[in-house]
Structure formats: C-alpha cells, structure tokens
A and B are shown apart, each in its own frame.
Chain A
Amino acid sequence: MKIGCFVEKYNFHTREEAGTLKLFKSTAERKGHSFDFIFKKDLDRIAEYDAIFIRATTDPMNTAYVASRMADALGKVVIDDPHSIRVCSSKVVLDDLFRQNSIPSPRSLLFDGDYDQKNLKRIFDYLGFPVVLKAPYTKFSSHVEKAASEAEFREISARYLRHATPIVLQEYMPSSFDWRVGVLDNQLLYLCKYYMPKGGWKVKSLVDGKQQWGKVVPIKRKNAPRKLAELAIKITRCVGDGLYGLDIKEIGGRFFCIEVNDNPSFYLGQEDARDPDLYEKIIDRLASGRPVKPGTYRLNEPF
C-alpha cells in the first residue's frame, strides 16, 4: 500500500511533532507499506497514492482541504476526509451539530452583529458574564476570548465579525483541564487531560504577556470514565468514522463537549504515552482500503 502524508514545513518545527511523523512512517514501513511526506508542491501527485493521511492543519480555507478533496475525488482512502473537515473546522457548524443531536455542551447562541439593546439583553440574560466569543475558524484556542462586560463584548465581536458571520457565543464553564479523547473508527484511541496553564483559562492562554500551554497528562484509554467514553463515541457517530480529538469538560460529574477536532495533534510522549499502538491503528485504517464514511446526518457528496 502506498501512503502519502500531506504535511507543511511547520509540521517539523517541534521535535515532538516531527518525532510522531517519523513514527508514523516507520510503523507504516514495518508493516510493508511505503510512506512518503507530500507537500503542497506535490498536489498533482496525489493520484499516485492509495491512501492520504493529512497532518497539516485542516480547514476548508487551507491547502490541506484541497489535498483531502482531491484525494477523495480520486477515490483514495483519506484521513481527514473532506466531510469531517467541513463539519469540525467551523464552530458554527459544530454548534448546530450539538443542537441537532442533543449533545451536552455549554449554552450557546449565534451572533451576526445585531447590537440592538433588546438583542444584547437577551444574549446576556441567557449566557451571563463572562461570555465566551468564538470565531468559527478557531484553532489551538486562538480566536476564543472572554468578555466580562458589554463594552468588551462589542469590541471582540466587532473584530471577529470582520472575518466571518455569524460567530458563536457560549456560556463560560471554568475548569482546570479539558479531557482530550482520541477516537478512530468510533472507538477510543487515546486519552489525555489537557490542563490550563497556571493563570490561564484555555489550554493555550496568554499569561503575563506570553502564550503558554498547559501540561498534558496521558491516561490509558481503558481507564476512561464510562460516561466520557460513551459521549465521545456518540458524538463521533454523528460526524463520521475517521480520526477525531474531542475536547470535553467535566463539571460536577457531568460531561460537556466543547469541540470536535478532525485533525488532532500528536506530540511524542503525550497522546501516545499510554497507548502507543495508536500509530499502528491509524496506519491499519489507512491501509484498509475502506473509505471514511460520514456520520448519522445526511450530506450529499458529489462524484
């Protein structure tokens, strides 16, 4: 089997991420497959491969989406598939998906820039302060901010609305960590706790003027709380049977989904620390010849 792994230069900038890419390659080769890194200059070569593994940041705005869609159009097995990218890349779409499928998540509203006092009152009465504002294209906790007052709300929302309409507003749910649940083929793949850095409220927060990441605590997937595992599987069944990383908050013994990432990150010694077989499982899925299928809601695909 010939596997192409679509990457960008930045995927090799940290030792931890480059290390996982090397492990994907060696795992594939040990199993008798070829595994090539392909860059945007190689897009025209996608047809040569049996399966495409997307590791560059996905979003319909990015070249990774073009790579995924080209592979899909050419009948290749592709992780991330374009359907999952379309669903997971937009917080507006995820918000909609949570509503449609009764997924427990923070209370939320969409906002299109209607600053009428009546509308603002409705928003603040429902969500309270502080209110969390999310641009639809948020990645790695960027473009997610908290507003503690109407003035802050107006300033942040106006900034986000310049690039996308609508944006998502959410109630603030403080917690010291988010669960990160890795799921492949609607089965648990790995489990971590992503802690907020000291003094921050997001996994990547601005603390004392510096962007800081919180620590990552890996946990064996077999030790996942049952309700957490059930929720994670229920959510991915809505999206598809590809590879996902779900961010879930635990508040008072209840679980609330914050987001579903179609292209979860892998860093050496973190996500893979307790369940190192994740490399093999992902390579086997790519080599299976079985395309990634969309989840429980209807989306008509061309071709």
Chain B
Amino acid sequence: MTIVVSEDDEDADYSPFAFLESHVNEDVLNVSHDYRYQKMGYYVSMHAELCGCRVTPRCSDILDTHRNPLLMIRASRAGIPCLPYRLISGYEKDLYPALCFAVNPYTCNSVTKVKSESQMYRTIKSLSVNNRYPVSVQPLLGEVKEAVQVFGETDVPEARAIARKFYEAFRIPVGKLVLQVVDGEAKLCHFEPAAKKEVDWALVRERVHALKGR
C-alpha cells in the first residue's frame, strides 16, 4: 500500500499539512513541485522518515539534488553524463564562457550564462552572496536546455535519457533539469524546483494512478 501525499488535491490521500499531523507506517509517495529545504515538500519526506516509512523522495536525495556539487558527484556515479565543475568562493579570472550555479540555498533559478569577464565578476558576487557561499562553475560548451521531468519523463527530446536515469537515481518525482547539449550529447548541469505552472499535472495524475494501481 502506498500513501500519496500531494499538493494536488485530486490525487492525495493526505494534504501535506494533514500528513504532518498523522502517524503512518505504509510506503509514502510525496508529490510536490518544490522539495527545497524548509518547504512543505521537504517536511513531508522528513516526517515519513521519522515515522520509519519508506518514502519517495528521501530527504538525503532531496538535499543532494538541490546542491550542485553533491548532485554532480552522485549523478556521475550513477552513470549520468555530466560536465566538470569547479567550486569557487570568490572571483577568478579566465573562467568564462561558463554556466554558473549558486551553491547557496536561497537562490532559486540561479542558472547564469557568463560570456565576459565583467559579467563573471558580477555573477560570482551575486551568486556567492558577496563571497559568503561557494559558486559552482561549469564550462559553457553547448546549447543550454531546461526540461521539467515528471517521474523520469519529459517532453524535451534531448533530455529524455537523462530524465529517466535521474529519476532512477534520485527518485525526485517532479523538478527541472538543466543540461547542455554538447556535440549532440546531452550532459546534466543542474537541478532545481519547477514552478507549479510549468508542471504537467495531468501527467502527474496519470503516473500516480498507475503507481497506486500496482
């Protein structure tokens, strides 16, 4: 038996808040468009884990996927093609063209393409919150694509294989993948929450029904 906790009322056995006040001991599927730390999506998984339940997604997977260097370490180990990254904590010369990501937890939608030295200076200053946090810098080598994945599926053709592997490795039901297509091959660069309106909720429902029916 799998309990579905979802912000989408049509599907849910529990709304997120009702779930936090309950005690369950079945498997839990936690559907949310935003699993960031201190958001309801995170607390649902944490509560399930504290109840001793098997939950999708797990807290450790949530936190790893939302911090770029941890995502990159684990994705590479899972056989997902990734681009190399460097962590820097202050401006450095000659790093552009690059794709930069905040490693601070506050900045959402931090993906920034940098094509000049002055832009790099401003970007590092901003994403590091004045050098308080590291910034992950990857080489900008190809076309940057964003793909919202739902249970490992996406309608962006270049991202399909990565979306499937990403879901197998991390079990995050909903979220946005950022990748670069380099010489025809897609490489994972980053993961972040999808905006609620970007998610195909009809597809989410279809997948949830299929999983519940098993």
**Cβ contact within 8 Å between B43 and A92:** yes
Task: Determine if B73 is an interface residue (Cβ-Cβ < 8 Å).
Answer: yes
The residue that B73 contacts in the complex, of A60, A73, A82, with Cβ under 8 A, is: A73
The 8 A CB mask of B27-68 against A (1 = contact, 0 = none) is 000000000011110010011011110100011110110010
Complex: A82 Cα to B63 Cα, angstroms: 10
Task: Determine if A14 is an interface residue (Cβ-Cβ < 8 Å).
Answer: no
Shortest CB-to-CB span from A58 to chain B, Å, is 13
Task: Determine if A147 is an interface residue (Cβ-Cβ < 8 Å).
Answer: no
A residues 44-67 touching B (CB-CB < 8 Å): 44, 60-63, 65-66
How many cross-chain pairs have Cβ atoms below 8 Å apart between A and B? 102
**Cβ contact within 8 Å between B50 and A61:** no
Chain B residues with CB under 8 Å of A100's CB are 50-51
Complex: A69 Cα to B60 Cα, angstroms: 9
**Cβ contact within 8 Å between B70 and A110:** no
Complex: A257 Cα to B185 Cα, angstroms: 54
**Cβ contact within 8 Å between A112 and B69:** no
**Cβ contact within 8 Å between A299 and B49:** yes
Shortest CB-to-CB span from B172 to chain A, Å, is 12
Task: Determine if B110 is an interface residue (Cβ-Cβ < 8 Å).
Answer: no
Task: Determine if B90 is an interface residue (Cβ-Cβ < 8 Å).
Answer: yes
The interface-forming segment of B81-89, B119-127, B188-196 is B81-89
**Cβ contact within 8 Å between B88 and A41:** yes
Shortest CB-to-CB span from A257 to chain B, Å, is 16
Chain A residues with CB under 8 Å of B179's CB are none
**Cβ contact within 8 Å between A300 and B60:** yes
**Cβ contact within 8 Å between B50 and A96:** yes
The 8 A CB mask of B158-175 against A (1 = contact, 0 = none) is 000000000000000000
Task: Determine if B105 is an interface residue (Cβ-Cβ < 8 Å).
Answer: yes
**Cβ contact within 8 Å between A86 and B63:** yes
Chain B residues with CB under 8 Å of A186's CB are none
**Cβ contact within 8 Å between B133 and A40:** yes
Complex: A303 Cα to B70 Cα, angstroms: 11
A sample of 22 inter-chain contacts (CB < 8 A) reads A40-B134, A60-B63, A61-B37, A61-B38, A63-B134, A69-B64, A69-B70, A82-B63, A86-B46, A92-B43, A96-B46, A97-B50, A110-B21, A112-B17, A112-B40, A165-B38, A165-B39, A299-B58, A299-B59, A300-B60, A302-B64, A302-B74
Query: Could you list 11 further interchain pairs (A-B, Cβ under 8 angstroms) beyond the known A164-B38, A301-B60?
Result: A40-B133, A61-B37, A86-B59, A92-B43, A93-B46, A136-B38, A165-B39, A297-B50, A299-B59, A302-B61, A302-B64
Residues of B within 8 A of A (CB): 17, 20-21, 37-40, 43, 46-47, 49-52, 54, 58-61, 63-64, 67, 69-70, 73-74, 77, 86-90, 103-106, 133-134
Top-8 shortest CB links A-B:
A61-B105, A164-B38, A41-B89, A60-B37, A40-B89, A96-B50, A43-B87, A112-B17
